[in-house]
Structure formats: structure tokens, C-alpha cells
A = this chain, B = another copy of it.
């Protein structure tokens, strides 16, 4: 782990171990340099990371302060890798409805930037959080980039699996959100009336080398899914 990441983590931990309320002032940069025995640049970089994550904010000429933590139960769209990752505060559960290797149709080809003969994992899952139906997800993973998956892994977090086994380094993602009217089949899964309105998310995840490896669409239950974006102008 890199120095600046390490220091960012330690500062983060100390904030939440001490349960510092929003607005609390942290040690200044000079003190942090002494405390961690690194150069100024490294401290500044660690702080920039925490600022981007919504943990702190810095005020020139004044100090470093703790930012308000996001409300519990809201999925952070900027930092989360989908679902399991960010709802740690709520007990989750996943039901795998389909797990197959398929050939991509033109929509999938366009989103994953692949040919029609490439092998693709297709996974359909129903997600629960806090005992409630959270969303219905259709995912497509390129087998070429993720050589091994199975139904058991799909019950948990695929992202956790592929990153921890070193198969994939996640780089960046594009997420598109809109509302749609659900069809009969989706309505059955979400236990909602046909023609209900739901939040629809279309997302593509790329490796750190810039290759798309996951295309997913998720239809979220209108009453149970909530989202959050904490951003910073700097």
C-alpha cells in the first residue's frame, strides 16, 4: 500500500474511532508531517484523497475539518461498485436467477466493445437490502477479462472476488440513470404492480487499462433504493 493511501486510511480511521462530529478541526499539515514523518506533498495528497471521498474539507488559511457523513442507507454513486460494497450498514442478500455463458447481442457488443463471438457471462440477480427487495440486475462480464466465475461467487460480491483475486484492477465507470415503466416480468420480481415507475441504471465498468469488462442494467425498487452523491468542486 502506498504511503499516501496508508496515511489517508489512518486519518480516516482516527476520525471514526474518535467519532469526531462534523466541523471538528484536525491537526494542521505541519503536525501531520511530523506525526507521519513524510514530506508535505504526501500529506497533501492523502488529504486530497479524503476530500474527494467526502470525508473532510480543507479551508485555505483556516484548517482541515470533518465533513458530514452521508446518511445511512443511501448508495453512494460516486464511490460504490454497485451494491454489496457500499451498503455495509444494511444486511444484504442476493438471489441468483440466471448464470450462463452467452454470445453478446449488438447492445452488449456496443457497451462492452467486443465482437459477437466473444464469450460473455450473463448473470441475473435479485438484490435485497435490509430485508426488502432492492433491485433486479442483469450483468454481462467479458470471460476474456474475468476467466473464472460461478454461481456461488455471484451470490456474493463479484467485484470483491475479482479485485481480491487480482483478476481485475478497476479503473473507472460510467453510470446513466433514468426512470422507466416496468414490464410484467420485472414487476413480478420486484413485487410491484405492472406499469409502476422504477429507477433504471445503465452502467459500464472499465479496467484500469481502459477496457470495459462489465455492463449491467439495474432496475431499482422505487420504495427501497436511495442514492447519494457527495462531490467536491476542487
Contact = CB atoms under 8 A, between A and B. Distances in A.
Interface of A: 23, 41, 52, 54, 57, 59-60, 62, 65, 67-68, 70-71, 74, 77-79, 170-179, 196-199, 206, 208-210, 222-223, 225-234
A171 B67 CA distance: 12
Given A59-B209, A232-B172, A233-B208, A177 B226 contact: yes
24 contacts: A23-B210, A52-B52, A57-B206, A60-B208, A67-B210, A70-B174, A71-B176, A74-B177, A77-B77, A77-B229, A173-B229, A174-B228, A175-B229, A176-B226, A176-B227, A177-B228, A178-B227, A179-B179, A179-B197, A196-B197, A197-B197, A197-B198, A208-B233, A208-B234
Contacts of A60: 208
B77 A233 contact: no
Contact of A231 (B54, B173, B225): B173
The 6 closest A-B pairs by CB, nearest first: A197-B197, A177-B227, A179-B222, A178-B226, A172-B232, A175-B229
A71 B175 CA distance: 10
Contacts of A173: 229-231
Integer count of this chain's copies in the complex: 2
Contacts of A70: 174
Contacts of A62: 209
A178 B67 CA distance: 22
Contacts of A233: 170-172, 208
Contacts of A74: 176-177
Contacts of A230: 172-175
Contacts of A175: 228-231
Contacts of A79: 231
A59 B210 contact: yes
A28 to B, nearest CB: 16
A227 B178 CA distance: 6
A158 to B, nearest CB: 16
Nearest to A181: B222
Contacts of A41: 41
